[in-house]
Chain A
Amino acid sequence: AQSVSQHNHHVILSEAASLELGCNYSYGGTVNLFWYVQYPGQHLQLLLKYFSGDPLVKGIKGFEAEFIKSKFSFNLRKPSVQWSDTAEYFCAFRDNYGQNFVFGPGTRLSVLP
């Protein structure tokens, strides 16, 4: 079955620390990959997405993610986090054949000022 795993349930960092959130998906075909963020009390919104081309994609607010096909991974990174990055982060994928989005369980990030 298609699935997405996220390595950490809750990550706590201090401001200016570097961030890497792990994401692995289970699917053998071509995938379209997404990272969404949910700030406290706000809608889920797209951070970045990958569907082809350069496996290193840049998103909003200084986030980037790298697609490594051989590892079925799409890890999210940010070199220096801010308190305002405190949120829940969801990794997701979708195939090209009309199957539904598959979301990971989410990683809660708390950034201490």
Chain B
Amino acid sequence: KAGVTQTPRYLIKTRGQQVTLSCSPISGHRSVSWYQQTPGQGLQFLFEYFSETQRNKGNFPGRFSGRQFSNSRSEMNVSTLELGDSALYLCASSPGLAGPNEQFFGPGTRLTVL
């Protein structure tokens, strides 16, 4: 089975721009979660989608949004980029929404905001 894929792998943007990141989960997985990883803050949960519906949301401003398509692929969007948005954005997929279902992580998209 192919793993979780994320595109693009690297991205450089300037302040004020917007960006869209894409995630393809493992085939058959219906849950997709997004995380922001920075050296100082660790893994910060952004949101989780299941069957095209946002099921959980972390503590991020409204500039961060996402969606999930019928094939479980997901995108996240960050508008009006700030320098502090520079981070590794990780996508994780899981077969289900709760319980012992582990998450499988992608390689991440490294976003640099100049």
Contact = CB atoms under 8 A, between A and B. Distances in A.
Q: Interface size class for chain A?
A: 20 to 34
A58 interface: no
B106 A43 contact: yes
Name the residue among A44, A90, A94, A95 with the largest chain B CB count within 10 angstroms: A44
B45 A103 contact: yes
A100 B45 contact: yes
B107 A43 contact: yes
Contacts of B43: 90, 103, 106
Interface of B: 3, 33, 35, 42-43, 45, 48, 55-56, 58, 90, 92, 97-108
Interface of A: 32, 34, 36, 43-46, 49, 51-52, 90, 94-106
